[in-house]
Amino acid sequence: MAEVLRALRLYVMLQRASARGAMQYRMNTVIGILSGAIWQGTGFAFIWVVMHTFPSLAGWGLAEIAFLYGLRLTAHALAMIPLMSVNDIHWVVRNGEFDRFLLRPLNPLVQLMGNRMGIAQFGDLIVGVTLLAVAGRNAAVQWNVWLIAFCFIAIVGGALIEAAFFLALCSLSLRMVDTFALRVFVDDIFSKFGSYPMKIFGGAVEWLLTFVVPVAFVAYVPSSVVLGKLDGPWALVAPLLGVVLIVLAYLIWRRQLDHYQSVGH
């Protein structure tokens, strides 16, 4: 536990240093946040246009779709803000920079995560939280303490699910030439399919997005619980699944790290 707390404290220090560095170029930081917000805003604008043509998708209205979109986007932002620098792992390995992480008395993953902060993802977070707040008011949700607490826990669980897939795929770069294309493909699955009710895909696709690549548990299942479309034990699956997957992803990271060979070999 002491080692975990130490790693967390050092990670916070690294991120604070990264944030101070980013703020030296304030306009660039603002543009980065705005670009993230605009990109995600245009994504929801497309859904808004579609919903004006088709007022209901698999029984979901515009406010409910907006809530689903906002929950997925908030979870995505919370996953990627701390992990965005891990996305550079293939360049770090190729250039031999990863070797210096191994020479320091600190977890290499913590060092890699602290390299830089995901600036554009703060734009994602702003749009996601805004959609959650507005849609949560317009979707006729009967809010209570339990639902609010579940919403927070579900967002964290969804973030852990997405972070787990991202970390596991990034860790493969320690032994493979490049996994960037595979990461982009999986990210597209989460972003493009995760923003819609799974029922519209149906059949084998719905099954794959639920039990193979658990996109449904990032936002669809939690949103269904909050909106009263689903009840029972499903409410706890997403948070618990997130914890299990992030532990497995870290074990994969450690396994790949044990077999890492410097580019000089």
- pLDDT for 146: 87
Q: What pLDDT, on the 0 to 100 scale, is given for residue 253? A: 93
Q: Could you give the residue ranges of the DSSP H alpha helices within the chain?
A: 2-22, 26-53, 62-83, 89-94, 98-103, 108-113, 120-138, 145-171, 180-193, 203-207, 220-226, 234-258
Give the residue-averaged pLDDT of 82-101: 85
CA 160 to chain centre: 7
Task: List the one residue out of 27, 14, 38 whose CA is nearest residue 115.
Answer: 14
Per-residue pLDDT, averaged over 17-21, amounts to: 66
Q: For position 75, what pLDDT does the model report?
A: 94
pLDDT attached to residue 1: 62
pLDDT for the residue numbered 232: 62
Can you list the pairs that 185-191 forms with residues at least 24 positions away whose Cβ atoms lie under 8 Å? 186/213, 189/213, 189/215, 190/72, 190/76, 190/162, 190/165, 190/215, 190/218, 191/43, 191/72, 191/76
Residue 265 pLDDT level (bands cut at 50, 70, 90): low
pTM of the full structure: 0.89
pLDDT of residue 264: 59
Over residues 248-255, mean pLDDT? 94
For residues 265 and 260, what is the distance between their CA atoms, to the nearest angstrom? 10
**60: helix, coil or strand?**
strand
Six token digits for residue 164: 């787990």
Check residues 202 and 151 and name the one with the higher pLDDT. 151
CA distance 90 to 93: 5
Percent of the chain residues past pLDDT 90, beyond the cut = 29
Predicted local confidence at residue 2, as pLDDT: 63
pLDDT digits (tens, 9 = 90+) for 32-84: 778 777 877 788 888 888 777 777 887 888 899 999 999 999 999 999 988 88
Res. 177 pLDDT band, cuts 50 70 90: low
Task: Summarize pLDDT for 125-172 with one digit per residue, the tens.
Answer: 999 999 999 998 888 788 889 888 989 999 999 999 999 999 999 999
